[in-house]
Structure 1
Amino acid sequence: MKVLIPLMTILAVAFADHEFRLWNNCPFTVWPGLLNNPNKPLPENGGFALEKYHTRAFHVPDGWAGRIWARTNCNGAGHCETGDCGNRIECRGAGGVPPVSLAEFTFDGSGNMDYYDVSLVDGYNLPISIFPIDGTYRRVSNSHYDCNTAGCKADINAHCPNELAIRNSAGWPVACKSACLAFNTDEYCCRGAHNRPETCRSRDWPVNYPAIFKQSCPDAYSYAYDDTSSTFTCHGNGGARTGYVVKFCP
């Protein structure tokens, strides 16, 4: 016996969901990793392979929050050279081992407004960008941070300082640590006496490593309190929810 679902019910479900399109523009396969925030559903079991120049789409519910990253050079056993999540293709709730470039989202945080950013706070492995899907959003201001592209298009690995670089067996840099990850000090990690925006400042850092990331990628987080030049917002278009493209190697 067939059960007919009313069209309005289908439309209501569609409007309540947000679409993600993960676009691999790299000339090699990547393995996206997905991680939900607490009490939010985990999409796609947390990860999959995405061949070069391919796109994969999926949906998350209204109110979802979490992060997306790319893993590189994964082998048949599921171990990845960067961004590994426990030697498995489906991360199943495990995060990626830093350094890794992160796309972060909080949907419908206030008045149907989304928040999104690209974070290099724990380091960098691949260029990545986020932008809203045409027709799913509306701008409410002329701000650079209203429904525009967030991300990092530069190859930071190419000029990563030796003391921050992660190298593969052939000696090539495949990722770049943040200063916090590399040195684990209160100054670089914005903790202890430096746990506020007004006390976590470049003048307190022995070397201004975050500036290396910020100069290459001005629209991405370079350290914990880099909010004012890194957080983007966007509103849904009418009754529909926003959708976003996460592009690797933009």
Structure 2
Amino acid sequence: MGRPPHFSLIILILSFIFIAPIALSATFTLVNQCTYTVWPGILSGAGTQPLSTTGFALSSGDSFPLSVPASWSGRIWGRTLCSQDPATGKFTCATADCGSGTVECSGAGAVPPATLAEFTLNGAGGLDFYDVSLVDGYNLPMLVVPQGGGNCSSTGCVGDLNESCPSELKVVGGAGGGECLACRSACEAFGDPKYCCSGGYATPETCGPTQYSQVFKNACPRAYSYAYDDKTSTFTCASADYIITFCPTPSRRYDFFRNLPFIYVFIQYYHTT
């Protein structure tokens, strides 16, 4: 008995219905491993479909999944030390505030200094492009880990740059007024074109790393430290979901491989004695 008419067409339509949502969207899972509440902010790129939320509270230990449409581009960051004025109802944050006056950022970006996770999904060659940027300064550790894609790498800034921030870049506050809450970029702190990669320094040939960007790079080798830090800071992946973690905890696996040279020397010494 032959196939019913249009059988192949029906199979094709059903395949598209069941497969397309997986191929055309991604899930970003935001995880808060900080000991305090973080308020993620989200800004979609120009001409890009906005996500279902642009800002919310994420308590310590909680996670939040976001469905991200195909070809989305934008940035995600974490706001800290946020509160709402009981008299006016205005919502503000001590670091990375988006200035909207509400929990939702509603199209506004982060006020520097802010650690930024930046994404362009389904870009050139169908690949996702992503990075963690300290070009606008730093306010908290962040890690981006792809899940389920092909040929992917994790990136981010796990270290606490607030502890090693040069005094002239520190944003101080807190209960005692002397705590470093965030670390400004040299561009924001001084406005000098050589730090901003602007004016006569607006090309990769004329704008290179400085003593200040190098502080960021030494602490976080895989994160952007200045505007033209592309070669070691931009990553690609094919059709992945992403876990974005605030205050990631270094894993035992990382510690193990970091200590491999010591372990090797110890084994060699033991074997020869």
Under a length normalisation based on structure 2, what TM-score does the superposition of the two structures give?
0.80
Secondary structure (helix, strand or coil) at the match of 1:44 reads coil
Match for residue 144 of structure 1? Answer: none
Instruction: Report sequence identity in percent.
Output: 47
The one of 179, 183, 187 equivalent to 2:186 is 179
1:159 positional shift: 1.4
Contact 1:23 1:247 in 2 (8 A): yes
1:58 positional shift: 1.1
Q: Which amino acid aligns with 1:81?
A: A
Match for residue 193 of structure 1? Answer: 200
Match for residue 134 of structure 2? Answer: 120
Match for residue 92 of structure 2? Answer: 79
Secondary structure (helix, strand or coil) at the match of 1:94 reads coil
Contact 1:99 1:176 in 2 (8 A): yes
Match for residue 239 of structure 1? Answer: none
Matches within 5 A, 1:202-241: 202=209, 205=210, 208-236=211-239
Gaps of 5+ in 2: 1-13, 85-89, 249-273
Match for residue 3 of structure 2? Answer: none
Match for residue 25 of structure 1? Answer: 33
Within the alignment, does 1:96 sit opposite 2:96 as a pair?
no
Using a 3 Å threshold, how does the CA distance of structure 1 residues 137 and 164 change in structure 2: closer, same or farther? same
Match for residue 21 of structure 2? Answer: 13
Secondary structure (helix, strand or coil) at the match of 2:21 reads helix
Match for residue 169 of structure 2? Answer: 164
Within the alignment, does 1:109 sit opposite 2:123 as a pair?
yes
Q: Segments of 4+ in structure 1 off by > 4 A?
A: none
Match for residue 142 of structure 1? Answer: none
Q: Which amino acid aligns with 1:84?
A: D
1:15 positional shift: 2.3
Which structure's residues are more often helix, by fraction? 2
Under a length normalisation based on structure 1, what TM-score does the superposition of the two structures give?
0.87
1:235 positional shift: 1.1
State the Cα RMSD in Å.
Answer: 1.5
Number of residue pairs the alignment of both structures matches = 228
Distance in 1 between residues matched to 2:41 and 2:234, nearest whole Å: 21
Which digits, 9 at most, give the CA deviation of each residue in 1:157-207, with x for residues without a partner?
A: 0111111000114210000000011111110001111111111124xx5xx
Match for residue 249 of structure 1? Answer: 247
Secondary structure (helix, strand or coil) at the match of 1:157 reads helix
